[in-house]
Amino acid sequence: MQREPGRAAGFGRRIETIAALTAAALLAVGCVVVLRPFFSALLWAMILTYSTWPAYAWLEARLRHRPSLAAVVMTLLLALAFVLPLVLVAATLADAVTLAADGLRRLLERGPPPPPGWVAGLPGVGPELLDFWQGLASDTARFAEFVRPYLLGARTHALGLALAIGRAVLELSLSVFAVFFFYRGGMEVVDRIRFIGQRVVGERVHHLLSVTSSTTRGVVYGTVGSSLVQGALAALGFWIAGVPGALFLGSLTFLFGLVPGGPPLIWIAAALWLAATGQVGWALFTALWGLLVVSGIKSVLKPYLISRESRTPVLVVFLGVAGGAAAFGFIGIFLGPTLLSVAYALLLDWGRAPEASVAGDRSRPQV
């Protein structure tokens, strides 16, 4: 009978523990549900802060240790680098869609132009194609009925593209906005990460954070940095050659530069347009500029920037771009290769001998 109070007290403590764990789990689930729509944007903001922290620290020192001012300047620079090109693309595409809609309306009112003479000479299908074309040109109602399904499909794709671009601008804007607060509280966050890591894996946390830091910076500098340089050089070349919308095409080159083999799609199209308009000399200049300068700079700059911090295979970067875009949308183009590269580097590190890993850099990692 004397043990009854002790048993009751122990049972009560277990109930309290279970209730506390349940409340903590429910709280964690609630936080995940609330933050789930912003997960990719916040994660990219953390990666941006992490990889640009040395620049922020340098700027803060030059501004007489005013962290808020340094955070504002860095946030504006990141907005110019990431948000502005996408806004330019969205604005230019909006104008292009408006012009295309006006042109299609006039085309539906007037009908297609008469078929050129060479259509009849096409082997096999020439006479039939000529009759069909002439029938559409002479009957605007028939022509409108013929092109209506294609116009509906094009409108659906245009709406999807507009929604995707709008979402990308929103996510990147949210990421850049969150970067300001991450700069302000960065040191507190890294201190807590180090403390939790020490309790989980011990002193080896210093080396793991060092590997994560170097890999993240290498991928961001190599992939995003080289794409920014490509976009700027492409815009300069298009401006010199007199290609319309040079800034827009430069922004597209930056975005396509995140995908392996993407920039040639832009400068080859520009060179073909120049050649089609009779500017053969400028077309040759654009092709050489794109091949030797735009694409050539990445083949030199990207391996150099990545090799300074990490060694990430091209296959990992390519799978990161494709898988990241499928999982997170546009922002996954940045996020995917970074996450895969960090996981790849940590996997290689865990496969090494313990002495080799612990003998690595034990210095305090930067955010």
pLDDT category of residue 229 using cuts at 50, 70 and 90:
confident
Q: What is the pLDDT of residues 58-102, one digit of tens each?
A: 888 888 888 888 888 989 988 887 777 777 777 776 666 666 666
For residues 72 and 87, is the Cβ–Cβ distance under 8 A?
no
The distance of Cα 90 from the centroid of its chain, to the nearest Å, equals 15
* Domain boundaries, given as residue ranges, for the chain: 39-184, 203-367
Q: How far apart, in whole angstroms, are the C-alpha atoms of residue 258 and residue 310?
A: 18
Which positions ≥6 away from 289 have C-beta within 8 Å?
Answer: 233, 237, 240, 241, 267
Q: How far apart, in whole angstroms, are the C-alpha atoms of residue 82 and residue 301?
A: 19
Q: What is the pLDDT of residues 303-356, one digit of tens each?
A: 666 656 556 676 777 787 778 777 777 667 777 777 777 777 777 767 664 544
Q: What SS3 string covers 191-251?
A: HHHHHHHHHHHHHHHHHHHHHHHHHHHHHHHHHHHHHHHHHHHHHHHHHHHCCCCHHHHHH
Q: Which of 329, 334, 322, 336 is nearest to 168 (CA)?
A: 329
- CA 256 vs CA 85, 226, 250, 341: distances in Å: 12, 12, 10, 20
Structure tokens at 315: 């296959």
Q: Tokens 């002439």 identify what position? A: 134
Whether the full predicted model's pTM is greater than 0.75, yes or no, is no
Q: What is the pLDDT of residues 149-168, one digit of tens each?
A: 777 676 676 677 677 777 77
Q: How far apart, in whole angstroms, are the C-alpha atoms of residue 192 and residue 157?
A: 46
